[in-house]
Structure 1
Amino acid sequence: MPVRGKFEDELKELQDKLVKLVAIADNALDLAMKALETHDVDLALKVMEDDTVANMLYEEIDDFAILLIAKQQPVAIDLRRIIVSIKIASDLERISDFAKNIAKSTIRIGQEEHLKEIIRLKKMYRITSSMLKDALKAYQEEDLGLAKKVADLDNEVDSLYGEVIKDLFALNNEKSENYDQIVQMLFINRYLERAADHITNIAEHVFYMVKGKHYDLNE
């Protein structure tokens, strides 16, 4: 096989590994939110245990990308594609960590009835999950328009984040005896907001990959 053909195959393999890590991170968030909604401690424990899979795949991607740079010594956009894969893998690993942290908070809340319906938190998750899927598509298709749309959606998550904080602070004034649950809900709110931030990072990495320049899409 010609050298270029082998290199293209290895780039495709690297991309496939990232696609797999996206699926793992997205599934972890989904299960963590289901566990929260249903008070399913066993499911929350599964999310925590499965986090090791994401960690191992992240390290595999990192090693594979570095080896690819060493072997092929790529330049220009090929080099950027490999560098971006490392950056995206790091963001995805952090998103998986946030899912694990949501699971931990769910376990701490346990069977205690939620003081308030988690409607806004669920909406934050739905937007975040949509952002992640679109960010993956933007990466695969090198679609800057879609990457920008992903970054714009982060504003909706930020707005909901602020609303949840206000709700929980008001609730604390009324039911301070339930302080522990309120704190865990504040944590979950923060984990979802940070997950969306890391997805925005992925959108910014797509811009760097295509344009060769760094753009702050949160401005």
Structure 2
Amino acid sequence: MLMKNTRSNFDSNLNELKKLLLEMAYKAENAVKESIHALIEQDLEKAQQIIDGDNEIDRLDHEINDKAILLIAKESSVATDLRKIIVAIKTSSEVERIADNAVNIAKAVQHIGKEKLIKDIIDIPKMTDLALEMLSDSLTSYYGDDVVLAKKCAEKDDKVDEMYGELIRELFGYLPQNPQAITQITELAYICRYIERIADHSTNIAENVIFLVTRKESI
């Protein structure tokens, strides 16, 4: 009976961690979407709201870490349980970094300001959609211990890298005819880099899932 109660208590606490992580991931995903909307609309007020809202995501990250550490300290966790807690902490860290990249995009939007854009913002949102699809897949695989989905998520990272390379070449191709737009071109290139990093962090979450389920650290 005592072992059952201990198991039930651990599972309940781990589920609480996962709920907090889900809330944090939702806020991070929304911040990324809003940052791209701010870019398209050149909405500087929205960009500032994204920057200000990062404090709440940081708070959730700290709460998850504190609860995870307390769970390790309180429970006589077996190796499998410890892996679950560690992966929860790692996943929280990756989501927090995704939110940081949303803030970086918002700051880049502020640096561009209201200057007329040198190109229509079409490909950057497409790249963002794929990166956020990867985030959704990686989190779904985490909550479902789905190794197949985790591997599919990681495989999409190559496509994001390809899109990133194409966008960088295109952006700097505008420079010879538009030397006055060097700041804007550079900031747009940074934005592409931040999106590419979001895909990388999503891949890291997927790799953590594979480690958790198979005990293997690479895909």
Q: TM-score scaled by structure 1?
A: 0.96
Displacement over 4 Å in runs of 4+: none
Partner residue, 2:115: 112
Matching residue of 2:177: 174
Q: Deviations over 1:65-89 (max 9, x none)?
A: 1110111131222111100000011
Alignment partner, residue 77 of structure 2? 74
User: Alignment partner of 1:172: what SS?
Assistant: coil
Aligned counterpart, 2:55: 52
Root mean square deviation, CA, Å: 1.0
Aligned equivalents of 2:89 and 2:76: distance in 1? 16
| SS of residue paired to 1:174 | coil
5+ residue gaps, structure 1, are none
- Residue type of the alignment partner of 2:27: I
Aligned counterpart, 1:193: 196
Deviations 1:135-162 (A, max 9, x none): 1110000000000011011111100100
Cα drift, residue 47 of structure 1 = 0.2
Which whole-Å deviations, capped at 9, do the CAs of 1:188-210 have from their partners, x for residues lacking one?
A: 01000011001000000001111
Distance in 2, Cα, partners of 1:2 & 1:148: 35
Contact persistence 1:25–1:95 (CA under 8 A): yes
SS in 2 for 1:214: coil
Normalised TM-score (structure 2): 0.96
Listed as ranges, the matches of 1:1-219 within 5 Å are 2-215=5-218, 217=219
Distance 1:35 1:143 in 2: 34
- Looking at structure 2, the residues matched to 19 and 212 of structure 1 have their Cα atoms a distance apart, in angstroms, of 24
Using the TM superposition, name which of 206-215 and 196-205 deviates more.
206-215
- Segments of structure 2 that go 5 or more residues without pairing to the other structure are none
Q: Percent identity?
A: 42
Q: Distance in 1 between matches of 2:146 and 2:157?
A: 18
SS at match of 1:115: coil
Q: Cα distance, 1:45 vs. partner?
A: 0.4
